[in-house]
Amino acid sequence: MSRSRTTLAALALVVTVAGCTPDPPATVPTDAPVAGPAVPGRSPVALLHAWDRRRAAAWAAGDPHALRSLYVAGSAAGARDLAMLRSWSARGLTVAPLDVQVLAGAAVARAPGRVTFVVTERLARAEARSGSRTWLLPRGQVGTRRVTMWRVAGRWRVASVSAGS
């Protein structure tokens, strides 16, 4: 395998765990949640799909500000995702599409302005692009994670991600 293909394969693995590596238990995001219904009028999977679409758009645009806005301030998952986006961008690469396949998802805890899901998902499709060149990245492995989201300033943001079932 050539050096560039090896690099892309390694980076694809990094994309699959963006925001999926467990946050340390001591991580306490600094944004306070806004009171309100946990998931007004939305199924857990629909909420996750909407968030994944916003994340994919931020990655496609190479937009660190848009990506950062998807996470609660102080989120370790957000810091990792942002670092990876910057690493890809520094190499002149964008990632689009970035399609995450949610195989199962359920809300396991709800409170005003907070919801925790257990979700089983994988990276279904992603392409790296540089100018007119495109590389199809490998699919991710199926993984189950516990994702906690807070409603902050009217938007659902990821506060933490940990391994879970």
Residue ranges per structural domain of the chain? 3-22+31-163
Q: Which fold has domain 3-22+31-163?
A: Nuclear Transport Factor 2; Chain: A, (3.10.450)
Q: How far is CA 96 from the centre of its chain?
A: 14
- Tell me how far apart the terminal alpha carbons of the chain are, to the nearest angstrom: 36
- What pLDDT shows up at residue 146? 96
Total residues belonging to the chain? 165
Q: 53-112 pLDDT, tens per residue?
A: 999 999 999 999 999 999 999 999 999 999 999 999 999 999 999 999 999 999 999 999
CA-nearest of 53, 50, 54, 30 to 39 is 50
